[in-house]
A and B are shown apart, each in its own frame.
Chain A
Amino acid sequence: MLSFNTLLYKEVLRVQKVAFQTLLAPVLTALLYLLIFSHVLEQHVEVYPGVRYTAFLIPGLVMMSVLQNAFANSSSSLIQSKITGSIVFVLLAPIAYWEFFLAYVLASVVRGLVVGVGVYLAALWFAQPPLQFPAWIMLFAVLGSALLASLGVVAGIWSEKFDQLAGFQNFIIMPLTFLSGVFYSIHSLPSFWQGLSRFNPFFYMIDGFRYGFFGASDISPWFSLAVVAGCLVGLAGFTLALLKSGYKLRL
């Protein structure tokens, strides 16, 4: 238990020591999006009746930041320690593969949530979306960030160089977040893209998360919950199997 706690503590400490990059920078990025999109679209779009576009946008941006930072945390921590070689200190220790998994995922969830809260608080200055069901908000934030953190563990183990990790980020994470309805409701898309969005797990994470704020969503939050939880279980199982086999970590 102490081994696990220590690894978790170390991962959180790492986030803290470079808080400027890991916490502050993502909040600023999200605020830039908010500033630009709300300025451009505020007059033109009303997604839910009576909800200003800026208010609609805020939960999407918060969740996007949560997800991207959860992924960035586990993946970059792993690849850094692989490249500097300091990962041996963890590999030499009597830490079970599932403790390794949980520590990296939990630390990344923590970073995702802290960034999410930061973005939310800063965004309140622009608009104040309601908070209908805080429990749904928390549930989707935690499950979504755990899913992305797990994906980050896979990416961090698989990548041997920063370029490969950047590829993962640019060709998988970014397109999936942008095509998930962060900036719009998928009902405003042509039917082909609407259909395609339904295969994107990010869509369910964002839609379910947004439900917690407005009590309204593109599809039932229960269905979104089932999809997100299913993806998490599947991916966690895959990641655990990868860690257990020692793939690319224990040569």
Chain B
Amino acid sequence: MSPAVDVRQVHKHYGSLHALDGVDLRIGQGEFFGLLGPNGAGKTTLINLLAGLALPDGGQLSILGHDVVKQYRDSRRLLGVVPQELVFDPFFTVRETLRLQSGYFGLRRNDAWIDEVMHHLDLTDKADTNMRKLSGGMKRRVLVAQALVHKPPVIVLDEPTAGVDVELRQTMWQFIQRLNRDGHTVLLTTHYLEEAEALCNRIAMLKHGRIVALDSTQNLLNSVVGCRVRLKLAGVLPAALLPQMIEQAGEDYLLELPSYQALEPALAELRMAGVAVQELSLLQPDLEDVFLRVMQVEHEVARPC
């Protein structure tokens, strides 16, 4: 079975900038895959190469076994891309836009599916409104709908929720998750790490055009050693624990401990100082911790003294 997305040793230069520096990535069919990384890491560049919006300087990319350069018509038919930029054609209404997009993909009578997509994205009321008159959030929904008109087996979303209200995020994710359950592969880039954590089964982190982490979401979360403890104290934190404190607001403290084993000695410290613990909660590590750590480590490695 061909992988949904296969990227091998891909390089892309913009002038002297090495936007992608030997990227290798395989995404299996049916995965919900997250591509994370700071601004300028090369996420959009990688998506552009997959979509044929840019051409690679080296390496190969294929969608379900179809090379994106040599078999561009097949690979594009299999791909639905929601671009990062909020673009639209001001000449047309929402329905015209979706019908045209269907036609570009060779679909003649597609109204039943167009209606369904519009329904799931709460666009039905706006079907006959000109694109110019839509709010940013509505335009974003149309972009998502456009990417889905041809029921692509591989769906790519480049920061689809940037600047979008909570309501749309929820409706959109419900719909995308349903498509994923039906077998569509999803590749997502997002700035909202909690979104990636909740949705993606596997995650790659990109930095300066290189993949610096690639694993299942669970393994990445498990890789965070140590734990965070939120405490409400009847008194002041003993000086011995100050190095571990990362936040304080009145009597509320947030401590970061190197491991769960460090918890007991910390509590012992409090007991000996006579400071009573009024509330205590352990915080689960989240993707943000992983993200920051991966990006930091890489930073240190990348800067030889």
Contacts and interface: CB of A to CB of B under 8 A. Distances in A.
A and B assemble together:
yes
Given A88-B87, A93-B105, A94-B105, A250 B100 contact: no
A123 to B, nearest CB: 30
Contact of B91 (A14, A94, A250): A14
Contacts of B90: 84, 86
B104 A89 contact: yes
A14 B100 CA distance: 12
A85 B51 contact: no
Contacts of B51: 91-92
A85 B87 contact: yes
A3 B106 contact: yes
A181 B91 CA distance: 37
B16 to A, nearest CB: 16
A94 B89 contact: no
Interface in A56-81: 81
A6 B89 CA distance: 15
6 contacts: A2-B103, A6-B100, A86-B89, A89-B146, A94-B105, A250-B55
Interface string B52-73: 1111000000000000000011
B53 A250 contact: yes
A196 to B, nearest CB: 41
Contact of A10 (B54, B85, B100): B100
A: interface residue count bin: 20 to 34
Contact of A85 (B14, B73, B85, B146): B85
Interface stretch (B24-32, B76-84, B219-227, B245-253): B76-84
Contact of B105 (A3, A18, A85, A96): A3
Interface of B: 14, 48, 51-55, 72-74, 76-77, 79, 81, 83, 85, 87-92, 100-101, 103-108, 146
Given A86-B88, A94-B72, A6 B55 contact: no
Given A91-B53, A94-B76, A96-B73, A86 B104 contact: no
Given A7-B104, A94-B72, A250-B54, 20 more contacts: A2-B103, A2-B106, A3-B105, A6-B103, A9-B100, A18-B91, A84-B88, A84-B90, A86-B87, A86-B88, A89-B87, A89-B89, A89-B101, A91-B52, A92-B79, A94-B77, A94-B106, A96-B73, A251-B48, A251-B55
Contact of B76 (A6, A10, A93, A251): A93
A13 interface: yes
A90 B53 contact: no
Nearest to A97: B72
